[in-house]
Structure 1
């Protein structure tokens, strides 16, 4: 078996094996290194490097430890060898005094299975004689030293600056934009880490392939053609920039701000193409969302203004209608009262009754419009009174019984006494119940209309359910909007302003409650008005 330790220790070169941590412990040394530094293997193994080899305390300008530590850290950070300029680093002689020494160091990583530096090989060459010269030719050697040392220091500084620039460039290249270098035929020469790791690709997936066929683009023929055009334009010497769809390894779609730049040599000839990109998905989507929100806001404002215009119009018209309607209805009622003994054909009475019924219907519509306009203008003064809510609700529902049963429908009223007295505005509650019942009757042609009132879970709940035509799912979200009417809905009558349910919603809110609707097209609808029992027990004014 080959004895590698024996080979290492017997090497004529000066070697140290260091551990890959911040103390840089000495793990082994060649015999030549031990002789050159006047040390013994057993005395230094396991000890930190700079504890064994400190700076010369008599030299306040000593930089040996500082320079060597910086080089070793660069090796750990970059995983690459680091060549140092000639260094002065004094060591103790056999008698314990420090001897002036100059070294030419090279520090190299030994990479472990995880891809990181596991050890550092520190190889040095003693160049003291070169820099100091033979003492017999002291003057000549001193002249040479004075020439060599400044140059060595200049080289060391230049190397340091070059390393900094290289590290900065590499950091930008790897961690900033997505970037690559392409040959003139469009194949990938190199690719940075960001373009691979962020998007979920491997270097082997893209190197030497046409750039437009790589995973960022190849899920769309249109995108591939767009990227190929960009590369060909840059190859011809003209920069390109634009935004495009691109893809990650998981198949998700993103948006990139893409540029493709030609790089020229000293003669002006394009030698390489550099595509770069920045993911702008969030920015583009945020801008799109902002535009959509702004459009929706403008639409909502326009609709609100239309609604306000309608409300103002109907309010004005209603005021104009109500006075003549009241006078007309008053005259009809007076005629009915005074015609008791007159001989008037029955057909005339029927016509008068028809005019009276429709006049009352129109007056009700006018009053509803005025109620809504007052609520919108916040001019409503609600008066909450102690009320037997079950009895009142049952009485209101019974007013519809004759019309409902005449139409061949069944009215079910289920309003058992409640455990608490509720405080409501009676006029508003009446409008809530009658509007919901009127709506149910209008759209129910067979089956049942049911009115129920319950107190449970600290809530009063009024339910008006029917087996009518029902409402489509698409129409439900707009059901309580002002002036909204369901298109194509089959009803008993077609008059109405489309604000009955909107009025119910506003009146429910004035009571501290809410109204909701459930419906299935062709099977019927259920409306629920809920109000907290606690708030219903407290008299208040709104």
Structure 2
């Protein structure tokens, strides 16, 4: 494992940078809910961040009820809708939009020069709307009063224009720095993912082998503990990588008709051992119709349900309950509710609940985690065309609501886990597998895993050129390929294998610690038979081999270049 400290660059505090910008900025989601606001905007509007974040902008800033001619809300809504629809910035004329004084003190007359800028993701979908305003109240009032000091007014206007220009330039530079820092962060996370997955491959792989082979109960328990801790670390690593994918617009979701009942049953079954250990009772919903489906990504919806149920158990009390209920709204939306009887969430903290890395007081209370689960769950739900909301009463518990569209499409049959994968199996004919991998521990691990397939002979190569020579000489039935090789990239070796008539039809399975989606998609486009990310689960590896090698040699599929 390389020294990560040499790769870490000082990170910019994005929140502090945004909060300190002198211009007035408010960030909205596509539903016009406030998701971020800087200090200058709070000062200008006499509001507090905790009171407005997460709320609809028009609920926070209504029209002045004492001004029957007020048009601020209507004009702002029209501008935001234009910017959202056209994906182009929308500048507004000077607007009269009065601001409520704190503590019910009526409204203060204000004039603003607004500009609304849409922010889209990599697929062109609307992600945010940046609402940027200049407070021109003083300027308008001076004009109205017919100030005679024209020279002073012109000088003030010139200074204001200079300030606006300077702030615009500062904002442009800040945006450039933010984009550069975000790119550096995503690159860093990708490297960290690879560096951490490499040792995890050995930790989890050999722990799994030990748990299957040691006869002593105590030793078996030790290996199981190592395996559990390693898998927990892998989940945390996957969460960080998913957040990075979402922020970079690289997370791919595949919508399909997903049966709700079986998916909830599966999530409850996975959480039940944790709930039993914590003394929390799980209550499933009443039996649901078999054809009740929502439009969603099956894997990601399962991930969201497991996350919510895990939290419902983690933040509950012994003898508490965590329940799941399902209801259908008249508008064709299905609502899944996860309710717990736990600690609850203070009202002032609800607005921060879905912020990445925000753990409220969980760390002080001794709960493990990274603060990514709920942020990731909301992003995934929004990406599937749904919503994820919460209501909570401190001391009584919380209710999380997932709303997703009901669909009548045909449900794809869920993949059945092959429980016999880990059992020894002999193929109809001997098979040869070539593994090109420069880490000796990984070679040894795969060798031990393949011992459960005695018909398979494994040949190892620690250099790409050696692997190419062995592939030409032995013409193996399958090639396992690592991508980070010392003499050339694995992608280059794949090109050489595909270009050689002797090796072009040999199936290639990539075993790599690079879990970035764009890299996986690129390798599939090159014709690899499968892409398994390290740490490699023995069941996944053996299932892949069984699929590609169990058939008679004459029936093996060839892979077109």
TM range, smaller chain:
0.3 to 0.5
TM-score (norm 2): 0.40
Q: Which has the larger radius of gyration?
A: 1
Please, what TM-score do these two structures have when normalized by structure 1? 0.42
Which structure ranks higher in relative contact order (CA pairs < 8 Å, sequence separation ≥ 6)?
A: 2
